[in-house]
Amino acid sequence: MDMNPAERSFAWITLSALAAIALVAAVSRPALAAEPSNASGSTVSKAAVPSNPAFDNRLREFLQKRFLLPDPKDVQLGPVTRTTMPGVFERQITLSNDRGQSAKAQVFSDAAGKQVIVGTLFDLTKDPWQHVDLGRIHLADRPVMGSPNAPVTIVEFADFECPYCAHAFSVLETMVHTTYKGKIRVLFKNFPLNSHPWAVRAALAADCARLQNPKDFWSFAREFYTNQGFITPQNLDSRVDQTAKRLGLDTGLLNACMNNRASLERVVQDQTDGRALGVTSTPTFFINGVKVVGLPDEKAFNFVVKSQVEEATKSARK
């Protein structure tokens, strides 16, 4: 997946954190206070626990060494709270370094303070897909590939200069036109990254082509993704003109549209919508509201799509 420069720079620390999601043992301190209970005998969740400076220092030192951080101040410890699981306590940590890079993680400890887990506590009563409400973003008047009556909609935030988006494009075309024909549709949202010099201009060209002929948006997308390695900020406009002429579009009208403020505002609106949903890299997909970042593995991506198609089919039968 394509990332902003700042994200790319601290990717190493994030990967280190993921590698350490296994048990981090032998961090000891005096036992925490016993779990309180209410009149019914059930535990009280998310109650704050008084700070224990001795334990905090040992935990900070352990994490500093475990993640190879040069300064104890690079490990920030959040307040300790009780979780809904008896005897398990939770806090957030922030790991940083002298280059301004940082990553956050949750830490869980037992009541005795002898073991710590770095990772995520999952509530099995919640929605495992974590469906996102897409009703708050702009979906009308955007490029669509596939049947308008398809039960599953994939909203994609992409950048025409992103190589991972180029790979995803071919995967999506196959899914829409072959594998899940009639069952899924793709709705495209522009999310050009600041690090890509011709991505915004390409987004404008494809969107303006769509206004003349909706199908030609996808022709422009294919052109950009296929020829990424040969396109530069200097030759983009001439390539756009060549593609427009080949498709039989009005080049004068296309160029006027690309320089129109309203066209740029549509691209900016897509970016704003993406940020509202937590999009920071491309491609990012919302498959009937299920967020998938990048195309990590086609089998995994296909699993989500297939599952959403099956769920939508079952719901339609009820």
pLDDT of residue 177: 96
Residue with tokens 């400890």: 109
Asked if 90 and 97 touch (Cβ cutoff 8 Å), the reply is: no
Domain CATH number, residue 141: 3.40.30.10
Q: Is the pLDDT of residue 296 over 80?
A: no
109 and 52 co-located in one domain: yes
226 and 255 co-located in one domain: yes
Q: How far apart are the first and last CA of the chain?
A: 38
Among residues 53, 84, 119, the one where a domain terminates is 119
pTM confidence score: 0.71
Counted domains in the chain:
2
Q: How confident is the model at residue 40 (pLDDT cuts 50, 70, 90)?
A: very low
82 and 145 co-located in one domain: no
Among residues 119, 149, 179, the one where a domain terminates is 119
Among residues 119, 147, 168, the one where a domain terminates is 119
82-121 confidence digits (pLDDT tens) = 988 888 899 999 998 777 788 888 999 887 777 888 877 6
112 and 139 co-located in one domain: no
113 and 166 co-located in one domain: no
Task: Domain of residue 205: give its range.
Answer: 134-305
Residue with tokens 């001439």: 238
Q: Is the pLDDT of residue 21 over 70?
A: no
More confident residue, 10 or 224: 224
pLDDT of residue 84: 84
Mean pLDDT of 49-60: 85
188-245 confidence digits (pLDDT tens) = 999 999 999 999 999 999 999 999 999 999 999 999 999 999 999 999 999 999 999 9
Beta bridge partners of 293: 284
